[in-house]
Amino acid sequence: MQALGLIWRDVGPFARDHVEVTTPLAEPVHFGARLLFNHWREKQEKGGLIVGRDLPARALSPALRNLGLYEPIAGCRDFHVRLAGSAFLRRFGRDVTGLKLSDLFEGAAFESHRSQMANMIADRRHFSTDVVLKKNRRDSLNFEMLGLPVLNENGARWALTGIFYHDWVG
């Protein structure tokens, strides 16, 4: 589907013909991911990034469309998507705000994403990965994913992620 000059491909998370290939990155590479990471690192020195106080921020305006905010459920057994920018529309083909991580992924894919976010929150460390979705052995989507532990307004630990497409400028 094409809308407003952007091409939205059929990349359903449950499609059996899609394979997700991830490569860990030591630090973010994409401009938007680096912008978000640097903002997060500055806030870590002052007690952590607090959603509602430090985010949204004017300095991050180029990256806001790329952000997803997840609230842990039952000790990180699942995550509730509290916010999902337009980059998530491209990844999932629909607005995922209000859904759970278990609604987006199943089986091993769900467990991989869940444990990655749970470990990030527990260890209070970021993760950065290059992700290639393959369909019929061809690259379908390529993006960088950045995960950051953040605090909500009450001090609870949540997960902030960013999806940064390599074919999107900015």
Domain ranges in the chain? Answer: 17-57+67-165
DSSP 31: H
One pLDDT digit (tens) per residue for the chain, 170 residues: 444 444 445 444 444 457 889 999 999 999 999 999 999 999 999 999 999 999 999 999 999 999 999 999 999 999 999 999 999 999 999 999 999 999 999 999 999 999 999 999 999 999 999 999 887 767 678 999 999 999 999 999 999 999 999 987 65
The answer to whether the bond into 56 is cis (omega within 30° of 0) is yes
C-alpha to C-alpha distance for 67 and 89, rounded to whole angstroms: 11
What is the torsion angle, in degrees rounded to the nearest 10, for the CA atoms of residue 76, residue 81, residue 83 and residue 87? 110
Please tell me the predicted confidence (pLDDT) of residue 15: 47
Please tell me the predicted confidence (pLDDT) of residue 19: 84
Please tell me the predicted confidence (pLDDT) of residue 18: 74
Q: Rounded to the nearest 5°, which phi and psi values hold at 144?
A: -105, 135
Homologous superfamily of 17-57+67-165: PAS domain (3.30.450.20)
Please tell me the predicted confidence (pLDDT) of residue 137: 67
Write the CA distances from 56 to 61, 62, 63, 83, 160, integer angstroms: 8, 11, 10, 12, 12
Please tell me the predicted confidence (pLDDT) of residue 16: 47
Q: Rounded to the nearest 5°, which phi and psi values hold at 4?
A: 55, 35
Please tell me the predicted confidence (pLDDT) of residue 140: 77
- Stated as kind and residue range, the H or E segment containing 101 is helix 101-104
Please tell me the predicted confidence (pLDDT) of residue 1: 42
